[in-house]
Amino acid sequence: IERTFSMIKPDATKRNLTGKIVDRLESAGLRVVASKRVYMSKAQAEAFYAVHRERPFYGELTAFMSSGPTVVQVLEGEDAIAKNREVMGATNPAEAAPGTIRADFAQSIGENAVHGSDAPETAKEEIAFWFSGVEIVG
């Protein structure tokens, strides 16, 4: 059993899509073992996305992520990291497979509804960034 970190981004919370997105995750066999709504500061967004600080979209990304509420979650399940990314679809919604969260709910490559960890090491770091051990109830 594996854990991954997921975010429902400000474009999706603004459009009231939280429940629909969680339904997609649960229907894929992922269990929500921690969840909270946060309105991150620019500094928190910059720290969370520090790995992208040299990328041209870093400023736009961190401004967007601190522009409204986000739902941060820990998901648990068999191959949770890969399964979550499969359900999310490609980063750019124009390239996302039909039936994926991004194909159905994302607006652009920046405002793309969800985030999911890409590897076991990043999942561990991203979970620890937002949650303490007692907040995760498996």
Separation of alpha carbons 87 and 96, rounded Å: 10
Using CB under 6 A as the binding criterion, the count of chain residues that bind ligand GTP stands at: 10
Nearer to ligand GTP, 34 or 113 (CB): 113
The verdict on whether residue 57 carries a ligand-binding annotation is yes
CA 57 to chain centre: 17
Facing residues of 71 across strands? Answer: 8, 37
| 52 classed as catalytic | no
Least spacing, CB of residue 134 vs ligand GTP, in Å? 26
Judged by CB under 5 A, the chain residues 69 through 128 that form the site for Mg ion are 118
CB atoms within 10 A of CB 43: 10
Nearer to ligand GTP, 34 or 123 (CB): 123
The verdict on whether residue 112 carries a ligand-binding annotation is yes
Least spacing, CB of residue 16 vs Mg ion, in Å? 25
Query: Contact 96/90 with Cβ under 8 angstroms?
Result: yes
Contact string 35-74 vs ligand GTP (x = CB under 6 A): ----------------------x--xx-------------
Residue 28 half-sphere exposure toward CB, CA atoms < 13 A: 25
CA dihedral 35, 32, 133, 6 (to 10 degrees): -70
Q: Which parts of this chain interact with ligand GTP (CB under 6 A)?
A: 57, 60-61, 91, 109-110, 112, 115-116, 118
